[in-house]
Structure 1
């Protein structure tokens, strides 16, 4: 494997010396920190981390690679994506970049093109990109407007099995919440999600009988042993604040499953008293929040001929300070909801730090694409660096946060089970057969 800044030993047991780690990602080892970074040596044996040692103390007889203080992360977790939507921008772009433009063009493309063959090509392209960038776990939402679930979920299950050991996959049925009260539509979606080991999702908005919709949704999840992951309040409109109703419903029903909410944009539009009341309820209910800063900044407050006045993201710091589990993720990639992106954890972290001001200090910034999303997704074995865990790591030449955040880190090494992988990204031309219909 060629790389611009270093190469790895070929031995089954070797050391990475003079390594800089984000302390928030490390378990079972303490050392003096600077900006949340610590200096260590790592001993890798048979694809796993054998030891974490003080810098420059690895056994002298081991083959080694000297990182010269380069940073190392655990592989990334991308906990909110849309693999079924990705990479058809060239076929059907969003002409004005608005939320409604996105809805209309996704709907049109889904009806015209979303066969298993089409979706497989786009999902495989996305997964190849994510893997090359260093991602190990992805949760994707799958549009579940009938008859699409009968195509998307069986395909997802096939791909999940094919990618096992490279990228672990979870899926959420993204269903229209107005369909929840229609048993003929809702029951088959629930059954499909359960059959394929998925979650129940949906996008909230102000609807008649909204409280009954939420209760029916939660009860169906409870009865079928399903967790919940919802798109919530993805709007700048202050009057749309369904997050509070979700917290109330979880508390009232005593729902014991995991509940994750994404976006929560309108929370940032509330007065301080309202925001605090809602945040306290979210914390009490044990609901996790994932922010999608790149997509939200792209869509929110977009009006023709007018410069946006706000960033579109939720009250991330306030939620975290209240004890809410928080993370960030990619969301859409190269589709009408977001024209850009490549499922790159470095890009997500870099942009999140800038957009959400997760710096000053940067001590815990790395958690939002590693340990925190892993914990939320029920995978505490991923997204951290610890003895006996697989040596699934991303190695950088950058030594400090300023270096890391100032370049795209295109020369990174991705290590899986102690070996460097082929980091060549798929060629966009690979998609031409499905995009040039």
Structure 2
């Protein structure tokens, strides 16, 4: 686990390359806050950026890859394998796996996290209770927000019970939407629940490569109709990668007008979409990031699944996920940093910006800038929180 570091009362870091700013900078901190941030006359101090905000993970499923009977052949194969594994989800099992995930995320620089939790009955699942307790225990290190995740057809039936508990626990209401019958009415029911209970929404939507999967269109239309800009997040959107480009352009324009957000998950989606034994996948299933942002949609990048049936890799290192997105999606590396930090932080109601008076909480890479840090996976990294350095992860090796 991550051990506490002794408090550093103050000091100055010089010659820093600072995310989003030209030139080099000196940063002076005192009693856990940035007191001076000014242009520097020196170089070589490293690359500094705000801490990370991982808005889409699955702590209930994490670190179960070793228990899977085979490599997932599809999204729905992974769903079936994970459903079978829930027989092993005891309090101790959930705590141990999620604790490891949070500790790794903290050591890598994550400050905020939203975890989806599978929810299939009227009563809250065991994982919701366990992770709610852990959210309280980890507050101030990794601030953890929970989002329920229920298949849309089920949520229509049990939504009242789910929404009440989610509201009481300060969570987010979520649904899995994929080629459902009577889609418009079911989406309206979910929005009714959100309005009644004052909840934000977070959808897993169109997570496949069928062009007819267009749940995101209905969500966007309902968001606009309810004037819920800034309160509805759509994750995955894989089908947008295979739909008609002119059609997608209109969808994205409407999404921007409605004020929805989009989360792209380069790990699990690249791994599961267009897969199969003995063949090389051609389609990667990643939503059009460039086009979405150009249209005005806030675009975020998340870790998604980590070492489970959906994706047997990862380490809750959002910087490593960012590297994957930069390579796969041809992102200008210096211009998309907000997608893993400031952007999702704002969506969760927080500010991770580096300025005078703000907490001295940041990540410093032994690198000349973001491109250099991305190019060298082994570049030394320091995570600072409130003026003190966080030690590297120490714990069980999964």
Question: Over alpha carbons, which structure has the higher Rg?
Answer: 1
Q: Deviations over 1:312-352 (max 9, x none)?
A: 10011000001100110100000000010011022011111
Gaps of 5+ in 2: none
Q: Deviations over 1:35-60 (max 9, x none)?
A: xxx31000111011111111138xxx
Question: Which residue does the alignment assign to 1:14?
Answer: 11
In structure 1, distance between residues paired with 2:212 and 2:150: 23
In structure 2, distance between residues paired with 1:394 and 1:148: 40
Aligned length: 394
Q: Deviations over 1:367-414 (max 9, x none)?
A: 1111111112221x22x2111111111111111334211222452111
Q: Deviations over 1:143-166 (max 9, x none)?
A: 011277241222222111100110
Question: Which residue does the alignment assign to 1:92?
Answer: 68
TM-score by length of 2: 0.95
Question: Which residue does the alignment assign to 2:77?
Answer: 101
In the TM superposition, structure 1's runs of 4+ consecutive aligned residues that sit over 6 Å from their partners are: none
In structure 2, distance between residues paired with 1:161 and 1:11: 25
Q: CA RMSD in A?
A: 1.9
Residue 370 (structure 2) pairs with residue 401 (structure 1): yes
The alpha-carbon distance between structure 1 residues 75 and 221, as it changes in their structure 2 partners (threshold 3 A), is same
1:369 pairs with 337, 340, 343, which one?
340
Question: Which residue does the alignment assign to 1:392?
Answer: 361
SS at match of 1:139: strand
In structure 2, distance between residues paired with 1:173 and 1:348: 23
The 8 Å contact of residues 153 and 192 in structure 1, kept in 2 or not, is answered as no
Q: How far is 1:93 from its partner?
A: 4.7
In structure 1, distance between residues paired with 2:378 and 2:142: 21
Gaps of 5+ in 1: 1-7, 24-30, 58-66, 430-437
Matches within 5 A, 1:11-410: 12-23=9-20, 33=22, 38-56=23-41, 68-110=44-86, 112-146=87-121, 149-182=124-157, 185-255=158-228, 258-359=231-332, 362-379=333-350, 381-382=351-352, 384-409=353-378
Q: How far is 1:295 from its partner?
A: 1.2
In structure 2, distance between residues paired with 1:410 and 1:403: 8
The alpha-carbon distance between structure 1 residues 256 and 427, as it changes in their structure 2 partners (threshold 3 A), is same
The alpha-carbon distance between structure 1 residues 72 and 256, as it changes in their structure 2 partners (threshold 3 A), is closer
In structure 1, distance between residues paired with 2:63 and 2:162: 25
The alpha-carbon distance between structure 1 residues 94 and 320, as it changes in their structure 2 partners (threshold 3 A), is farther
SS at match of 1:333: coil
Q: How far is 1:113 from its partner?
A: 1.3
The 8 Å contact of residues 208 and 238 in structure 2, kept in 1 or not, is answered as yes
The 8 Å contact of residues 86 and 332 in structure 1, kept in 2 or not, is answered as yes
Residue 385 (structure 2) pairs with residue 416 (structure 1): yes
In structure 1, distance between residues paired with 2:83 and 2:147: 18
Q: How far is 1:84 from its partner?
A: 0.6
Q: Deviations over 1:156-212 (max 9, x none)?
A: 221111001101011100011102332xx2221111111111111011111222111
